Amino acid sequence: MRRTTSLWLLIGLTGYAVLPWYMLRRDFWSFRWLADFGEPASAPALFLVLNFERFWLAPAGLALLLAWLLLRLKNPVRRARLIAITAFTGLFMTAFQGLVIVRAGPRAFGNLLEFGGMQDGQVGFGAGAFVTLIALLFVLTTAISAMGKGRGDAFVVGLIGLIISMVGVFVFFPVLHILIRGFEVDGGYSVLQFFPRFFSADIWGIGCLAGGSCGPGLNSVILAIMTGATTTALGLAFALIFTRTDFRAKRLLRLLTVIPIVTPPFVIGLALILLFGRTGAVTELFAELFGIEKTRWIYGFGGIYLAQVLSFTPIAFLVMIGVVEGVSPSMEEASQTLNADRWQTFRYVSLPLMRPGLANAFLLGFIESLADFGNPLVLGGNFNVLSTEIYFSIVGTVADPAKTAILSIALLSLTLGAFLVQRRWVGKKSYATVTGKGDAGRHAALSKGVKALCYATALPWAAFTAVVYSMIIFGSFVKLWGIDNSFTLAHYIRAFGIKITDNGWRFSGVAWDSYFTTLTIASIAAPLTAILGLATAYLLVRQKFVGREVFEFSTMLSFAIPGTVIGVSYIMAFNFPPIELTGTSIILIIVFVFRNMPVGVRGGIASMSQLDKSLDEASITLGANSFTTVRRVIAPLLGPAILAALTYSFVRAITSVSAVIFLVSAKHNMATAFIVGRVENGEFGLAIAYSAVLIITMITAIILLQLLIGKRKLRRIDRIERSA
Amino acid sequence: MKKLTIMGAAMLAGTVLAGHASAQELNVICSNEQDWCDLMASAFEDETGIDVSMVRKSTGETLAQVRAEAGNPKIDVWWGGTGDPHLIASAEGLTQPSGADTSELLGWAVNLAEISGGRTIGIHAGALGIAYNTEILAEKGVEPPACWRDLTNPDYAGEIQVANPNSSGTAYTELATLVQIFGEDDGFRLLAEIGENVNTYTKSGSAPSKAAARGETGISIGFMHDMVKLAKAGFPLAIVSPCEGTGYEVGGVSIIEGAQNFDEAVQWVNFVLSAEAQSLGPQVDVFNVPSNSNATVPPESPALESIKLIDYDFATYGSSETRARLLARWDEEVKPAE
């Protein structure tokens, strides 16, 4: 403990005495702050306390100093306990002063805090504050582990502490800003008034059972259940075709299952309108052939459902493929040895072992559908769902923060419900099948019926996806999609033109700026998301600690809240000290990391539940610590989960719209915000050409990632039983 | 490219000035069309040498952001978008007077400034109109509408699309216009009768005209300059100025309260109100009517003289109380039964 703690204390001291405490107006990496060391704006905390009477910054430094002195204590338990208390106090005091003393001076306890320079206020935390706080956090967790918590494993306790504080700061803190409004009544707060508003028929109306229309709450639930179930079924069918059949065009199929998530949402909506709208190609064809009346069925439940299934099936597939691959062949062989036929093996052995995958895929589909905003906006018609209602309660002609909060709480309770049901269904059984023991069997082939069913569901779907995407590519090369179908390259030249002049060449297209920003931010956010998500999954599956279920749900929170709410709450929370991030690219990265992390968590949990604990134990018995075990044993076995998390977070950082719209700034504009603006302006050709380029970019990235990560080797050879 | 230039300029400035007085800069949110935003930003940079950072967001999103950032705004000036949200922002104290000269401006633009105490000034106007898809109506063999009242014609059953005034400022302007032309009770009765023919109340105000352009609906109600743009792009769309007269929106420009670059923001306001700047619109297909009386009007733009404009009462119909009351009544009497 002494060595770890000393190391963190040293780091903390650097943050406190060398790095600039406050955020800088200019770039940190220019190191201009070294030159302006003596000025309060770029001085370290130690200097501020000594020279500028900012004594309220002292507790952090004192805590570091005290902890260092306490290291000398002989009694290890007392030492740990005292250091923990010291570090916690330092953290708490620093956070407290940051929240209270803002730009305009103290915002609470004004009368008590009149002395010193407090009235002048202060700006947000900078590099120094960040490093100091992180160091104090790890001193705290190291001390806690030394007290014997978490089986004395400093790595595990540190990880838990880090994730909890990050989720607290970047999920709970902002979201509370919005949710608290739900309890607001004229001039105060009331809990009692909340319930009648929450349970009003405006949200939960059941008129559709009697032939009318339902409230948005019920609409959302029905839609989400349908979407969740369908995407899970399709995901399973695709995964089975991949792992259990000798289907020839697997690569092509793989591409088709991935493309939909790499598509900005409104593009799918637009393509569906052009196919199935009242004047759509398919509608016209059917009207001509069979005399079917042209209707607008696509605007409403049908259209949203179709678009969502199209968009979210790949997510289910990404979760399912890892799980289906992981089911051990020896179990299937054992079943067959015991004289079960292929159907029985599938039904009673393989399928039950896939439960964590099915449950997690359904949960993701359900939540995605609830929070989806782009598809209902384009295809909703008169069918109202919670996410669009929330959006327009924020940006509509009459903004209603209380309604926003209540609808968001409704949405969150639906998520919580689905989460609990999911847990019950998975139950406490063990799904571990990757045990590290000799496992050279071959996967049972599918029975004829199951195979036929898989083909019958997945292949038409794949064909449909292919049609939709050829339409999109086609749309980017014609003058006016659907009206004037003559060939042109004008859209691409406008968006991605490169001018060659005497002085060399330059990016003259209008899309380049946002394209580069988007790629940079997505490439930074993706690995962070994957690491955070999988680390969380590791803790949830492998470690036992108090409040684990609450912790698990809290990691799902940011995913379940519609992006619009997250966007606005991020402005409310991070436009003011202590954490001032609006207008930077950091806020975009953070919002992506915390919004997409749950996919990493779900995928990680699903895959990790299959890895037998004996693998960890073997590694630990051989003298490795838990960090080494994660790095050398668990991580390599999680290939598909890592790939899924990386892919998903990279792609979502590029395609998500709703959260981003409030957070983009002039210097950091994102591709989707740009595309939405163009669509709003009626420039479909340009928007679609840009989307097509983004799609190709993302597919390239995914292929590169796949090559980079490679295929995990669970057994010497992955064999599938030959269909006899 | 712009980024590269800025980075280069910043590096140069950094080495020459060694961290002293930084270049003048201005943060603008633009709620107009993207091309129009880009063009004005670069024209302003050319004229003043001030670095403009600009991002485009819709009016509703901008208002939400300005509200959330109140007290420590990252934006200096908000340019474009319908006047109502600008008026709301000024009523909530989110914007501040710019003190710009309004002597060259047309009456409706000055009117906006007077209502808001100089906090927002009119930059352009766009009239409300009806558009129909010529192919669809010809196929159905029905006459195109000429007046608001015509829209109640049962021949148009299921062919009219209009936005929901709860989410769209465009649709609220339509609601307020009909109320002002026909009186409140008759106006709502007419809206309900038109409602019999409406297939969808869309969320976004510009969606109905796009749907009409593609033939997804026969008739749409919206702003004429959006329709002109679609027709010019090649869609079979014809535009009608209703015979009873029609209302209009006035786009505004406002400086955010607590703006960090106030002086530059004032320069921006003066710039966008100038005749030279406003005359640039047609270059990027902007067809609304400029507020400066000396600016040249694009020939395609729906000339306000030929349209029977009503005397739209922005002060009354822009106020939150009237708005809340009318919207509640709309929910009650017009909104399709749930």
Q: Are residues B214 and B268 in the same domain?
A: no
Closest A-chain CA to B322: A398
**Is there a contact between B69 and A575 if contact means CB atoms under 8 Å apart?**
yes
Question: Considering the domain boundaries, does residue B146 fall inside one?
Answer: yes
pLDDT for A618-676, tens place per residue?
888 888 887 888 788 877 777 777 877 788 788 888 887 777 877 887 778 888 888 87
Within chain B, where are the H helices? 2-17, 34-48, 59-69, 83-91, 107-115, 134-140, 169-182, 184-197, 207-214, 224-233, 262-273, 275-278, 314-318, 320-333
Q: Does B225 touch chain A (CB under 8 A)?
A: no
Question: So what's the pLDDT on residue A547?
Answer: 78
Q: Does A506 touch chain B (CB under 8 A)?
A: yes
Question: Considering the domain boundaries, does residue B111 fall inside one?
Answer: yes
Q: Does A662 touch chain B (CB under 8 A)?
A: yes
Spatial neighbors of B19 by CB under 8 A, at least 6 apart, are A26, A32, A35, A36
Write out residues 390-449 of A within 8 Å (CB-CB) of B: 392, 394-399
Q: Does B65 touch chain A (CB under 8 A)?
A: yes
Q: How far is the alpha carbon of A363 from chain B, nearest alpha carbon, in Å?
A: 29
Instruction: Identify whether the C-beta of residue B257 lies closer than 8 Å to the C-beta of residue B69.
Output: no
Q: Does B172 touch chain A (CB under 8 A)?
A: yes
Q: Are residues B268 and B144 in the same domain?
A: no
pLDDT bin (cut points 50, 70, 90) of residue A188 is low
DSSP for residue B239: E
Q: Does A382 touch chain B (CB under 8 A)?
A: yes
Task: For residue A468, give the 3-state DSSP assignment.
Answer: helix
**Is there a contact between A394 and B165 if contact means CB atoms under 8 Å apart?**
no
pLDDT bin (cut points 50, 70, 90) of residue B219 is very high
Question: So what's the pLDDT on residue A436?
Answer: 61
| pLDDT of A714 above 70 | no
pLDDT for A406-454, tens place per residue?
888 888 888 888 878 887 887 666 666 666 665 556 676 777 878 888 8
Write out residues 13-32 of B within 8 Å (CB-CB) of A: 14, 19, 27-28
Question: Considering the domain boundaries, does residue B32 fall inside one?
Answer: yes
**Is there a contact between B55 and A665 if contact means CB atoms under 8 Å apart?**
yes
| pLDDT of B20 above 70 | no
Question: So what's the pLDDT on residue A428?
Answer: 67
**Is there a contact between B166 and A398 if contact means CB atoms under 8 Å apart?**
yes
The answer to whether the peptide bond before residue A578 is cis (omega within 30 degrees of 0) is yes
Q: Are residues B9 and B76 in the same domain?
A: yes
Write out residues 106-145 of B within 8 Å (CB-CB) of A: none
Find chain A residues with C-beta within 8 A of B202's C-beta.
381
Question: So what's the pLDDT on residue B13?
Answer: 41
**Is there a contact between B165 and A397 if contact means CB atoms under 8 Å apart?**
yes
Domain annotation for chain A: domains and CATH numbers: 2-147 (no CATH), 202-479 (1.10.3720.10), 507-709 (1.10.3720.10)
- The Cα A671–Cα B82 span in angstroms is 25
Would residue B306 be called left, alpha or beta, if left means φ above 0 and alpha means ψ between -120 and 50 degrees?
alpha
pLDDT bin (cut points 50, 70, 90) of residue A218 is confident
Question: Considering the domain boundaries, does residue B232 fall inside one?
Answer: yes
Q: Does B324 touch chain A (CB under 8 A)?
A: yes
Question: So what's the pLDDT on residue B94?
Answer: 93
Q: Are residues B47 and B161 in the same domain?
A: no
Which of B38, B40, B61, B219 is the mutation pick for testing A, counting most A CBs within 10 A? B61
What is the pLDDT averaged over residues A33-42?
A: 75
**Is there a contact between A568 and B35 if contact means CB atoms under 8 Å apart?**
no
Task: For residue A338, give the 3-state DSSP assignment.
Answer: coil
Query: Over A146-183, what HEC string results?
Result: HCCHHHHCHHHHHHHHHHHHHHHHHHHHHHHHHHHHHH
Q: How many domains does chain B have?
A: 2
Q: Are residues B206 and B274 in the same domain?
A: no
- In sequence order, what are the beta bridge partners of B133? B237
Q: Are residues B103 and B148 in the same domain?
A: no
Find chain B residues with C-beta within 8 A of A105's C-beta.
none
- The Cα A285–Cα A603 span in angstroms is 42
Q: What is the CATH number of the domain that holds B328?
A: 3.40.190.10
pLDDT bin (cut points 50, 70, 90) of residue B11 is very low
**Is there a contact between B74 and A582 if contact means CB atoms under 8 Å apart?**
yes
Question: Considering the domain boundaries, does residue B314 fall inside one?
Answer: no
**Is there a contact between B324 and A398 if contact means CB atoms under 8 Å apart?**
yes
Question: So what's the pLDDT on residue A209?
Answer: 65
Find chain A residues with C-beta within 8 A of B230's C-beta.
682
**Is there a contact between A382 and B63 if contact means CB atoms under 8 Å apart?**
no
Q: Does A104 touch chain B (CB under 8 A)?
A: yes
* Closest by CA position to B215, among listed B230, B229, B228: B230
Question: So what's the pLDDT on residue B153?
Answer: 92
Task: For residue A582, give the 3-state DSSP assignment.
Answer: coil
Highest mean pLDDT range out of A405-419, A440-454, B34-48, B186-200? B186-200
Q: How far is CA B142 from CA A533, B130, B137, B176, B191, in A?
A: 59, 15, 6, 28, 21
- Quick one: CA dihedral A489, A492, A494, A499, positive or negative? negative
| pLDDT of B326 above 90 | yes
Q: Does B234 touch chain A (CB under 8 A)?
A: yes
Q: Are residues B100 and B164 in the same domain?
A: no
**Is there a contact between B169 and A397 if contact means CB atoms under 8 Å apart?**
yes
- The Cα A380–Cα A567 span in angstroms is 22
Closest B-chain CA to A494: B35
| pLDDT of B221 above 90 | yes
Find chain A residues with C-beta within 8 A of B28's C-beta.
666
Highest mean pLDDT range out of A201-210, B174-183, B294-303? B174-183
Percent of chain B with pLDDT over 90: 37
Q: Does A498 touch chain B (CB under 8 A)?
A: no
Write out residues 344-373 of A within 8 Å (CB-CB) of B: none
Q: Are residues B179 and B324 in the same domain?
A: yes
Question: Considering the domain boundaries, does residue B307 fall inside one?
Answer: no
Q: Are residues B122 and B137 in the same domain?
A: no
- The Cα B7–Cα A30 span in angstroms is 13
| pLDDT of B12 above 50 | no
Q: Are residues B218 and B329 in the same domain?
A: yes
Which of B2, B167, B174 is the mutation pick for testing A, counting most A CBs within 10 A? B167
Q: Are residues B100 and B176 in the same domain?
A: no
pLDDT bin (cut points 50, 70, 90) of residue A210 is low
Q: How far is the alpha carbon of A314 from chain B, nearest alpha carbon, in Å?
A: 29
* Closest by CA position to A554, among listed A540, A565, A543, A544: A540
Spatial neighbors of A76 by CB under 8 A, at least 6 apart, are A1, A146
* Closest by CA position to A308, among listed A255, A274, A265, A357: A265
- The Cα B251–Cα B30 span in angstroms is 11
Write out residues 119-158 of A within 8 Å (CB-CB) of B: none
pLDDT for B260-280, tens place per residue?
899 999 999 999 999 999 988
Within B24-116, where are the H helices? 34-48, 59-69, 83-91, 107-115
| pLDDT of A704 above 60 | yes
Q: Does B319 touch chain A (CB under 8 A)?
A: no
Tell how strand B219-223 and strand A184-185 pair up. unpaired
Question: So what's the pLDDT on residue A262?
Answer: 74
Q: Are residues B290 and B225 in the same domain?
A: no
| pLDDT of A276 above 50 | yes
What is the pLDDT averaged over residues B11-25?
A: 47
- In sequence order, what are the beta bridge partners of B246? B309
Number of A:B CB contacts under 8 A? 152
Q: Does A111 touch chain B (CB under 8 A)?
A: no
Question: Considering the domain boundaries, does residue B241 fall inside one?
Answer: yes
Q: What is the average pLDDT value for chain B, to the nearest integer? A: 85
What residue type is A303 in one-letter code?
A: G
Selecting from B61, B233, B338 the residue whose C-beta is nearest the C-beta of A480 gives: B233
- The Cα A378–Cα A482 span in angstroms is 17
* Closest by CA position to A439, among listed A607, A611, A603: A611
| pLDDT of B222 above 70 | yes
Find chain B residues with C-beta within 8 A of A373's C-beta.
none
Which of A203, A397, A481 is the mutation pick for testing B, counting most B CBs within 10 A? A397
pLDDT for A469-507, tens place per residue?
888 888 888 887 777 778 888 888 888 887 777 777 777
Find chain B residues with C-beta within 8 A of A279's C-beta.
214-216
Check residues B237 and A544 and name the one with the higher pLDDT: B237
- Residue A207 backbone dihedrals phi, psi, to 5 degrees: -60, -25
pLDDT bin (cut points 50, 70, 90) of residue B3 is very low
Question: So what's the pLDDT on residue B18?
Answer: 36
pLDDT for A556-577, tens place per residue?
777 777 777 788 888 888 887 7
Closest B-chain CA to A174: B68
Check residues B312 and A582 and name the one with the higher pLDDT: B312
Find chain B residues with C-beta within 8 A of A678's C-beta.
34
pLDDT for B302-322, tens place per residue?
666 677 888 888 888 888 888
Find chain B residues with C-beta within 8 A of A205's C-beta.
338
Q: Does B335 touch chain A (CB under 8 A)?
A: no
Question: Considering the domain boundaries, does residue B225 fall inside one?
Answer: yes
Per the structure, the complete domain to which residue B131 belongs is given by: 127-247+319-333
pLDDT for A83-132, tens place per residue?
999 999 999 888 888 887 766 666 666 555 555 566 667 778 888 888 99
